[in-house]
Amino acid sequence: MSDRIFGAVGLCLALFYAWATLQIQESFLSDAVGPKTFPLVIAVILGLSSLAILLKPDPDPVWPGLARLAEILAAAVVMILYAEFLPIAGFLIATAFAAAYLTWRLGTRPLQSLVVGVATSIGIYVIFKLVLGLSLASGPFGF
Amino acid sequence: MAFKLMRAAIAVAALTVATGASAQECIAPANPGGGWDFTCRQVGKSLQDLGLIDKTMQVVNLAGGGGGVAFAEVVNKRNDDNELIVAASSATATRLAQGAYPGNTMDQVRWIASIGADYGVIAVAANSEIKTLPELLDKIKTDPTSVSVAGGSAVGGWDHLKVLIAANAYGIDDVRSVKYIAFDGGGEAVTQLLAGSVQAFTGDLSEAKGFVDSGDIRVIAVLAPERLPGEFSEFPTAKEQGIDAIGANWRGFYGPGGMSDEAYNEWADKIGKLYASDEWKQVMAANGLAPLDLQGAEFQQFVANSVQQIQDISRQIGIIK
Amino acid sequence: MDTLISLADGFQTALTFENLLLALLGTFLGTMMGALPGLGPSNGVAILIPLAFTLGLGATPSLILLTSVYYGAMYGGRISSILLNIPGDEPAMMTCLDGYPMAKKGMAGEALSLSGIASFVGAFIATWGLILLAPQLVKFALLFGPAEYFALFALAFATLGGVSSTNQAKSAFAAMLGLGLAVIGVDTQTGVPRLTFGEVHLYDGLDFLVAIVGLFALSEVFIFLEHRHGESSASGAKVSVGRLTPPWKMVKETTPTMLRSSFLGFIAGVLPGAGASLGSFISYSMEKKLVDRKGTFGTGDPRGVAAPEAGNNAAAGGALVPMLALGVPGSGTTAVLLAVLLSLNITPGPLLFQNNPDVVWGLIAALFIANFMLLAMNIPMVGLFTRVLMIPPRILMPIVAMVSFVGIYGISGSSFDLLVMIGFGLMGWVLRKLDVPLVPIILGTLLGNTMENNLRRAVTISNGDYSVLVGSPLAIGLWTVAIVGFILPLFLGRFVKARMHARRDDEGSIAD
């Protein structure tokens, strides 16, 4: 069943891809092949392979329960927040929080998670910023 | 050696400490290793060596959108930062002219100064029967499909525009008919010239230098106002062949639009001093940069003209409406 | 003979205390950056340029430092591939396929040291190739016009079928997904933006590093979250790392593989635009085609570890040929090295060997030195690397995730890239559940643009005539190998192999 849904989604994706390709504004200046040919070929093969998946599905994988699924989504949300707050809060703070959260959700005790999170953050800061000299986000306190 | 390493470690540490305070910052709108990154790092280093700035310049890479992400960041978030400069080049002007930074125009920032220019060249393979620029353009005029011109930039990019400027000056009305093939960088384009896949090459002098020295390719025109100094003086300009086409890939800096006049003048002055130094002369020689000595209002005007010219030709070939 | 004298001179230049120290520093930092997901050889070299400037190094010492980083990163990428199933950089992607299964079988130590030896062999052969064949190879590279490149990439995709999946439809789906993602951005042949939906961040296209780190590293984190209370990770699975050096028999068995792969990888490296990823990919798929009679590739076959590692290190050496002799970077890393050369007032190109022999031969000598150093450093350190497996996943995985974020953010400074990476992470998780192979996606994003551009260049140059694609003996040869060697067997052999494949699938599926 999973593969049938996957195939159907793939088919929709191929259709959307073809549609989006047709929306490309061509300039007056075009080469012999044009900007649409290659993506259209991709869309066709994408559609055909989706159809094949839909018609000949593999056995279903084991999907996690709702609770686990929520766990994964929550982690993704935390990562998104991390990406958004990184330039605002600065590297050390944002990273310590995100790392502590992930450590906690992977089954470490809360207090220990916090310690691990802070240690991870400082460790990465030392390697990437002080040793390799990359410019990481500096927040209101300069780190 | 150990001492040198130690010094480097201290320098790196100092750099880190300096970020907290308001150190001068240079945004390179691309990943490390590219042209803009080099502009920032080299100028930062030279400014410090000359004692024009007291702390190490902090170089920040902000890639994306062909410089558009950095431009938007400066306009929207850092508009009144006096300690910030951003590396720019003809590519920046080209994209601004063609509206490739959505919603941004060149007058939203202040153009500070140039640090040199790389003049465009048009070249053919050494064994080609074409000897001069008019011969090449004549061939294009009679049968555009017979000549493929290779360059390192995308269609509508600077390498492409240079050959169109020349074609336009020669009197080819429909410059769109010029067959331009875009490669990933000038080196690849030159290689395909050697391999015989294409008939002509448009690019920067620095990209072609190695092959000119070895005698594999022949420069038929330099798009400079007059002959270049030194070893490059043997190349004819387009102008002396009767084609009034100039194409310089300049390098320089802009700063935020809200930068105070005082800070603006100070930056322009510093980069002017840098330009005049012997150290910078060496850097320019090493990088094949030709003279382009403009600061402050002069540079602002230069960029404005350049944007206008690119806009005209882009409109003509239909890249913009 | 001249060559040997020049080489001796080169060693004289390179063998100073300062240069050796730089090589040591470079190989160490390079290995570290190669192993960290998100930082690959090209970024690694770029990051260290300021260090070379700050130290005020001359041309030869700078190049020694930076090429040591380059070779080191090529070595380092395999470490996280084998231990964590996360490629440290894109060429190490293929090493996951057999390296991680080996580690799961309790042979992490053997896998690491064997791949270290394979890396050494690949790099060693490539360096000799660079010395002896550079001028001839340049002529060979000039045989490749746009049409030939297109055929070469088509060949690479044709070999995909055999490599990583049992369900060919899913393999094809993944490859098209990768190619489709590569299309995003401003089209270089016409200057129009494609599939960017007005988003300025997408104008430059998606960075494949973002894709690879998201698909491999973040999806791994999600898989651990999914199984937290499950069997696999709760208490930090006690993994045995096995012996730290490979048995002599294993080295002997894999020697022919290493030699063949080194040769193939070197050739792939010499062609500008193909680079190390293609080198390791082609080495793996060809080797599988040649020697995998029992279907053990993908389940922890030592030859499946030796092939891509010898291949990608040989390609790294090969990529220096067009950079030095033509001034054309064959890969992202050599592009950065080229910029360094230019800023040191050295013009690469046909005359480099005559004009700056000290630089060239010093560099080549440095490559040998770095390579021996890396071997000497990597084999004893296998024990140290495998300690990583002792860290319980609940602590290790968040570190992996954060390192991935920092690697990407530190280079591009863009939160947008991080969001895209998270998207890739979720997508990678779903695709893994559905048993869709990830390798074709990465291959597609890596090669998609070059492939399309070469197609369009070829056809535009011939004024719209598509027959140019089979217009030279070389192109016809490549197409023949692709079709006879890989496409036809797929259709002919699929019924025979179907059962065998199904069984292998159960064993070979990753992590979950």
Question: Helix/strand/coil (H, E, C) string of chain A?
Answer: CHHHHHHHHHHHHHHHHHHHHHCCCCCCCCCCCCCCHHHHHHHHHHHHHHHHHHHCCCCCCCCCCHHHHHHHHHHHHHHHHHHHHHHHHCHHHHHHHHHHHHHHHCCCCHHHHHHHHHHHHHHHHHHHHHHCCCCCCCCCCCC
- Share of chain C residues as helix, strand and coil, in percent rounded to the nearest 5: 80, 0, 20
* pLDDT band at residue C273 using 50, 70 and 90 as cut-offs: low
Q: In the block, which residue shows the tokens 């060949």?
A: C155
Got the DSSP string for B217-240?
EEEEEE-SSSPPSGGGGGSPBTGG
Mean pLDDT, chain C, as a whole number?
84
Is B69 in CB contact (< 8 Å) with chain A?
no
The pLDDT score that the predictor gives to residue A45 is 94
Average pLDDT over residues C410-419: 86
* pLDDT band at residue A27 using 50, 70 and 90 as cut-offs: low
Residues 159-218 of B with CB under 8 A from A: 176
Average pLDDT over residues C43-68: 80
Q: Cα–Cα distance between C493 and C495 in angstroms, integer?
A: 6
Query: What are B27's strand-pairing partners?
Result: B60, B86
Q: Are B170 and B120 in contact (CB under 8 A)?
A: no
Q: In the block, which residue shows the tokens 């050295």?
A: C346
Residues 124-183 of B with CB under 8 A from C: 145, 148, 154-157, 179, 181-183
Q: What percent of chain B has pLDDT over 70?
A: 92
- Interchain contact, A42 vs C176, CB within 8 Å: yes
Report the residue of chain A nearest B23, measured CA to CA: A142
Least confident segment among A123-132, C51-60, C137-146, C199-208 = C51-60
Least confident segment among B1-15, C49-63, C344-358 = B1-15
Report the residue of chain A nearest C452, measured CA to CA: A38
Average pLDDT over residues C384-403: 86
Q: What percent of chain C has pLDDT over 90?
A: 31
The pLDDT score that the predictor gives to residue C493 is 60
- Interchain contact, C218 vs A79, CB within 8 Å: yes
The pLDDT score that the predictor gives to residue C235 is 43
Residue-wise pLDDT for A84-137, tens only, equals 999 889 899 999 999 999 999 988 899 999 999 999 999 999 888 877 777 777
pLDDT reading at B23 higher than 60: yes
Q: Which residues of chain C lie closer than 8 angstroms to B181, CB-CB? A: 457, 460-461
- Nearest-CB residue to A28 (from B16, B59, B317): B317
The pLDDT score that the predictor gives to residue B18 is 37
- Interchain contact, A106 vs C224, CB within 8 Å: yes
Average pLDDT over residues B270-277: 94
Q: How many CB atoms lie within 10 A of CB C153?
A: 23
Residue-wise pLDDT for C242-255, tens only, equals 777 888 899 999 99
* pLDDT band at residue B156 using 50, 70 and 90 as cut-offs: confident
Residue-wise pLDDT for B103-148, tens only, equals 889 999 999 999 999 889 999 999 999 999 999 999 999 999 999 9
Burial of C496 (0-12, 13-18, 19+ CB in 10 A): exposed
- Those residues with Cβ within 8 angstroms of residue A92's Cβ, 6 or more apart along the chain or in another chain: A121, A122, A125, A139, A143
Mean pLDDT, chain B, as a whole number?
85
Q: What percent of chain C has pLDDT over 70?
A: 91
Least confident segment among B202-206, C99-103, C213-217, C474-478 = B202-206
Residue from B22, B61, B155, B181 to probe the interface with A (highest A Cβ count within 10 Å): B155
Angstroms from C286 CA to nearest CA on chain B: 28
Distances in whole angstroms, Cα of residue B213 to Cα of each of A59, B270, C334: 64, 36, 22
Pairing of strands B58-61, B148-151: unpaired
- Those residues with Cβ within 8 angstroms of residue B306's Cβ, 6 or more apart along the chain or in another chain: B90, B93, B97, B250
pLDDT reading at C315 higher than 70: yes
Neighbours of chain B (3+ CB pairs under 8 A): A, C
pLDDT reading at C361 higher than 80: yes
Comparing B195 with C121, the larger pLDDT belongs to C121
- Interchain contact, B318 vs A138, CB within 8 Å: no
Average pLDDT over residues B26-49: 83
What's the start-to-end Cα distance of chain A, in Å?
Answer: 50
Residue from C69, C139, C340, C461 to probe the interface with B (highest B Cβ count within 10 Å): C461
* pLDDT band at residue B15 using 50, 70 and 90 as cut-offs: very low
Is C189 in CB contact (< 8 Å) with chain A?
yes
Residues 259-318 of C with CB under 8 A from B: 272-273
Q: Cα–Cα distance between C75 and B139 in angstroms, integer?
A: 52
Tell me the CB-side half-sphere exposure of residue C373, using CA atoms within 13 A.
Answer: 27
Tell me the CB-side half-sphere exposure of residue C303, using CA atoms within 13 A.
Answer: 25
Q: In the block, which residue shows the tokens 């890989």?
A: C486
The pLDDT score that the predictor gives to residue C218 is 92
Residue-wise pLDDT for B295-317, tens only, equals 999 999 999 999 998 998 888 87
- Interchain contact, A58 vs C435, CB within 8 Å: yes
- Nearest-CB residue to B60 (from A28, A129, A135): A135
- Nearest-CB residue to B319 (from A27, A131, A133): A27
Residue-wise pLDDT for B159-187, tens only, equals 999 999 899 889 888 888 899 998 887 88
- Interchain contact, A49 vs C190, CB within 8 Å: no
Average pLDDT over residues C196-223: 86
- Interchain contact, A134 vs C189, CB within 8 Å: no
ipTM of the complex: 0.94
Q: Which residues of chain A lie closer than 8 angstroms to B21, CB-CB? A: 142
Domains of chain B: residue spans and CATH:
2-117+249-317 (3.40.190.150), 118-241 (3.40.190.10)
Is B184 in CB contact (< 8 Å) with chain C?
yes
Least confident segment among B37-41, C233-237, C435-439 = C233-237
pLDDT reading at B191 higher than 60: yes
For residue C465, what are its two tokens? 């005539």
Chain centroid to CA C257 = 17
pLDDT reading at B11 higher than 50: no
Q: Of the candidates C323, C208, C309, C214, which has an alpha carbon nearest to the alpha carbon of residue C262?
A: C309
Q: Of the candidates B160, B213, B207, B159, which has an alpha carbon nearest to the alpha carbon of residue B187?
A: B207
- Interchain contact, A29 vs B156, CB within 8 Å: yes
The pLDDT score that the predictor gives to residue A28 is 63
